[in-house]
Amino acid sequence: MTKVLLLACVLLAGCLQFSDFDVGRDVPEQKLQGSPIPLPLQETFPFAMDLDLSEYISKFETEREVQVTLQSLELTVTPTSMPSGDSDNFGFIEELHVYIGSSTEGTTLPRVEIASAVNPGPVATINFTVDSTIDLKPYIAEMAAVDAKAKGTAPTDEISFEGRGVVTVHP
């Protein structure tokens, strides 16, 4: 009986599947200086997103390969830089591209685009088109660096924004 129970437990353990799960990551509030004179938008766009997922990945790492992919990303205007009578939006942006790279010196990982928004228009929230085929895990293992590049015209006054990204862990 004990051998049968042991065999059943081994077979059941082999059949167990861990489901994919989503983890939200905040993009903290940031500010972009405005200009009353129409100037080209600085190419480097202020952008930061914490991708430390070690607590989630380590739970599965010894059992199987884990993959992490970006599922969604959005930026939303915040009221911090809107004095009374002001209304801000992302209409000044023509293109916004988000990249991931490694912070490790001598890495062989290429810097790759993981999300983009083209001509979002005068909206308060940008919903990015994401590339959910890129495995972020190698970048996370090398202290991922997320940055953004923009094209457009500087906003007429300061704008503040924050955001949220969702990554999926595939155990």
Give me the domain span that covers residue 151.
Answer: 20-170
Question: In the chain, how many domains are there?
Answer: 1
pLDDT at 148: 94
Q: What is the pLDDT of residue 63?
A: 57
Residue 85 within any structural domain of the chain: yes
Q: How far apart are CA 171 and CA 32, in angstroms?
A: 38
Q: Is 157 inside any structural domain?
A: yes
> 90 in helix, strand or coil?
coil
Distance separating alpha carbons of residues 32 and 41, to the nearest angstrom: 10
Whole-number Å distance between alpha carbons of 132 and 23:
14
8 part of a folded domain: no
pLDDT value for 155: 93
Three-class HEC string of 6-41: HHHHHHHHHHCCCCCEEEEEEEEEEEECCCCCCCEC
Tell me what pLDDT residue 72 has: 97
Residue 10 inside a domain? The answer is: no
- Provide the residue-wise pLDDT of the chain in tens; the chain has 171 residues: 544 433 344 444 444 456 888 888 999 999 999 988 988 888 788 888 888 777 766 666 555 678 899 999 999 999 999 988 889 999 999 999 999 999 999 999 999 999 999 999 999 999 999 999 999 999 988 988 999 999 999 999 999 999 999 998 887
Say which DSSP state 134 is in: S
Greatest alpha-carbon pair distance for the chain in Å reads 83
Q: Is 148 helix (H, G, I), strand (E, B) or coil?
A: strand
Q: Is there a domain that residue 119 lies in? A: yes
Asked if residues 101 and 109 have their Cβ atoms less than 8 Å apart, the reply is yes
In a domain, 124, yes or no: yes
Residue 95 lies in a domain: yes
In a domain, 136, yes or no: yes
